[in-house]
Structure 1
Amino acid sequence: MKIALATLNAKYIHTSLALRYLKAYSERDFEIEIVEYTIKDPVMNIVSDLYGRQPDVVGFSCYIWNIEETITVIDMLKKVKPDVKIVLGGPEVSYDTDYWMKRLPQVDFIVVGEGEATFHQLLTELRGEQKFHFVLGLAYRDGDEVRINPPRPKLDLNHLPSPHRFPEDVAHLPNRVVYFETSRGCPFSCQFCLSSIEVGVRYFDIERTKQDLLYLINHGAKLIKFVDRTFNIKRDYAMEIFQFLIDNHQGCVFQFEITADIMRPEVLDFLAEHAPPGIFRFEIGVQSTNDPTNLLVKRRQNFTKLARTVTKVKESGKIAQHLDLIAGLPLEDYTTFKKTFNDVFALEPEELQLGFLKMLRGTGMRHDAEKYNYVFMERAPYEILGNDHLPFSDIVRIKRVEDVLEKYWNAHRMDHTISYLIRHEFPSPFDFFQEFGDYWEARGWRKIGHQLEDLFTRLRDFLQQRGTKRMDVILGLMKYDYYLNHKQRPRKVWWDFNMDKATHADLLRQAAEQPGRLSDEFASNRLNERDLHKHAVVEILPFDLDAYLATGRVLEQRTALFAVYRPKGGEPVRCYTMKLDEGAVRLA
Structure 2
Amino acid sequence: MKVVLATLNAKYIHMSLALRYLKAYSGREFSIDLVEYTIKDPPLQVVADLYERNPDVLGLSCYIWNIEETITILRLLKKVRPDLPMILGGPEVSYDVKEWLTRLPEVDFIVMGEGEETFHHLLTVLRDGGEIGEVTGIAYRDGEGRIVIHSPRGKVNLKEIPSPYRFPEDIPHLSNRIVYMETSRGCPFTCQFCLSSVETGVRYFDLKKIKEDILYLIDHGARTIKFVDRTFNLKKDIAIDMFRFLAENHRGTVFQFEITADILHPDVIRFLQEKAPPEIFRFEIGVQSTNEWTNRLVKRRQNFEKLSRTVRMIKESGKITQHLDLIAGLPEEDYDSFRKTFNDVFTLEPEELQLGFLKMLRGTGMRAMAEDFGYIYMDQAPYEILGNRVLPFADVIRIKRVEDILEKYWNHHRMDHTIRYLVREVFPTPFDFFQDFGDYWADKGWSRIGHQLEDLFLRLSQFLQDKGVKDWTVVEGLMKIDYFLAHRHKPRKVWWQVSLSKGEQADWIKKLAEKGKTEQELHKHVMLETVPFDAEMFLSQGMIRNSPSLLVAYYRPEEGEGPLLFSIPLAGSC
TM-score, normalisation: structure 2: 0.99
Residue 2 (str. 1) matches residue 31 (str. 2):
no
Residue 155 of structure 1 aligns with an amino acid whose one-letter code is V
Q: Is the 8 A contact 1:373 1:388 kept in 2?
A: yes
Tell me the CA shift for residue 548 of structure 1: 2.3
1: CA distance between counterparts of 2:557 and 2:169? 39
Residue 279 (1) aligns with residue 280 (2): yes
* Alignment match, 1:372: 373
Provide the rounded CA distance (Å) in 1 between the counterparts of 2:499 and 2:288: 47
Structure 2 unmatched ranges of 5 or more: none
8 Å Cα contact 2:239-2:268 kept in structure 1: no
| CA distance in structure 2 between the aligned counterparts of 1:199 and 1:552, rounded to whole angstroms | 48
> CA–CA distance in 2 between the matches of 1:470 and 1:478?
13
User: Is the CA contact (8 Å cut-off) linking 2:535 and 2:566 kept in structure 1?
Assistant: no
Show the counterpart of 2:112: 112
Amino acid at match of 1:101: L
- Distance in 2 separating the partners of 1:527 and 1:328: 57
Cross-structure match for 1:519? none
Q: Deviations over 1:195-242 (max 9, x none)?
A: 001000000111011001111111111110000000000111111110
2:526 maps to 536
Alignment-mate amino acid for residue 561 of structure 1 = L
| 2:447 paired residue number | 446
Residue 503 (structure 1) shift: 1.2
**Displacement of 1:569 after TM fit?**
4.3
State how far apart, in whole Å, the 2-side matches of 1:567 and 1:415 are.
Answer: 23
1:505 positional shift:
1.7
Displacement of 1:568: 1.3
The reply to whether residue 18 of structure 1 matches residue 8 of structure 2 is no
Query: Residue deviations 1:40-59, cap 9 Å, x none?
Result: 00001100110111111111
CA–CA distance in structure 2, aligned partners of residues 75 and 352 of structure 1: 39
Q: How far, CA to CA, are the matches of 1:210 and 1:509 in structure 2? A: 59
Match of 2:309 in 1: 308
Aligned partner letter, 2:41: D
Once structures 1 and 2 are overlaid, which stretch shifts more, 480-489 or 279-288? 480-489
The equivalent residue for 1:90 is: 90
Q: Which amino acid aligns with 2:262?
A: D
Q: What is aligned with 2:351?
A: 350
- Deviation for aligned residue 1:508: 2.0
Matched, 1:511 2:512: yes
Q: Is the 8 A contact 1:246 1:275 kept in 2?
A: yes
Q: Which amino acid aligns with 1:446?
A: S
In the TM superposition, what whole-angstrom CA distance separates every residue of 1:552-578 from its partner, at most 9, and x where no partner exists? 432111211111211414233221222
Alpha-carbon deviation of 1:487?
A: 1.2
Distance 1:118 1:298 in 2: 31
Q: Secondary structure at the match of 1:441?
A: helix
Q: Is the 8 A contact 1:59 1:88 kept in 2?
A: yes
Q: What corresponds to 2:135 in structure 1?
A: 135
Write the distance in 1 (CA, Å) between the matches of 2:306 and 2:337. Answer: 20
SS in 2 for 1:281: strand
User: Which residue of the partner structure matches residue 48 of structure 1?
Assistant: 48
What residue number does 1:194 align with? 195
Partner of 1:235 in structure 2? 236
C-alpha distance after superposition, 1:282-312 (max 9, x if no partner): 0000000000000110100000000000000
Deviations 1:364-383 (A, max 9, x none): 00001111111111100000
Inter-partner Cα distance in structure 1 for 2:488 and 2:517 = 18
Structure 1 residue 536, shift from structure 2 partner: 1.4
C-alpha contact (below 8 Å) 2:326/2:355 kept by paired residues:
yes
Partner of 1:225: 226
Aligned to 1:517: none
Offset at 1:498?
4.0
The aligned residue for residue 126 of structure 1 is 126
Percent of paired sites with the same residue: 64
Counterpart of 2:504, as a letter, is: T
Letter in 1 for 2:26: S
Using the TM superposition, give the Cα deviation of residue 269 of structure 1 relative to its aligned residue in structure 2, in angstroms: 1.2
Root mean square deviation, CA, Å: 1.0
Q: Which AA in structure 2 matches 1:502?
A: G
Aligned pairs (5 A) from 1:402-421 = 402-421=403-422
Query: What are the equivalent positions in structure 2 for 1:331-346 lying under 5 Å apart?
Result: 331-346=332-347
Higher mean alpha-carbon deviation, 488-497 vs 371-380, is at 488-497
Find the counterpart in structure 2 of residue 70 from structure 1.
70
The residue identity in structure 2 corresponding to 1:53 is R
Aligned ranges 1:141-152 → 2 under 5 Å: 141-143=141-143, 144-152=145-153
Structure 1 unaligned runs (5+)? 515-525
> Which residue in the other structure is 1:80 paired with?
80
Residue type matched to 2:101 in 1? M
Given that 2:554 and 2:565 are in contact with CA atoms closer than 8 Å, whether structure 1 keeps it comes out as yes
Q: State the secondary structure of the residue aligned to 1:453.
A: helix
Partner-residue secondary structure (3-state), 2:241 = helix
Distance 2:527 2:562 in 1: 14
- In structure 2, the partner of 1:35 is 35
Separation in 2 of the partners of 1:259 and 1:528?
A: 54
Return the alpha-carbon distance in structure 1 between the equivalents of residues 176 and 557 of structure 2: 28
Alpha carbons 2:486, 2:562 under 8 Å: kept: no
Paired with 2:282 and 2:274, the residues of 1 have a C-alpha distance of 16
Quote the residue 1:559 is aligned against. Answer: 549
Question: How many residues of Structure 1 are paired with residues of Structure 2 in the alignment?
Answer: 573
Matches of 2:562 and 2:454, distance apart in 1: 20
- For residue 461 of structure 1, what is the amino acid of its counterpart? Q
Q: Tell whether the 8 Å contact from 2:489 to 2:557 is kept in structure 1 after alignment.
A: no
What CA distance in whole angstroms lies between the structure 2 residues aligned with 1:86 and 1:313? 48
Q: Partner residue of 2:561? A: 571
Distance in 1 (CA, whole Å) between partners of 2:569 and 2:106 is 73
Corresponding residue number in structure 1 for 2:435:
434
Letter in 1 for 2:92: E
Question: Within 1, Cα distance between the matches of 2:279 and 2:269?
Answer: 15
Summarize deviations over 1:462-518 as a string: whole Å, max 9, x none: 00000011111111111111111111111111112242122112212222313xxxx
Q: Is the 8 A contact 2:499 2:530 kept in 1?
A: no
Match of 1:547?
537
Given residue 188 of structure 2, which amino acid in structure 1 is its aligned partner?
A: P
User: 1:150 aligns to what SS in structure 2?
Assistant: coil
3-state SS, counterpart of residue 557 of structure 1: coil
Distance across 2 between alignment mates of 1:214 and 1:298: 38
In structure 1, the residue matched to 2:295 is 294
8 A contact 1:132–1:140 mirrored in 2: no
Paired residue secondary structure (2:58): strand
Q: Which amino acid aligns with 2:549?
A: T
Distance in 2 between the 1:578 and 1:529 partners?
18
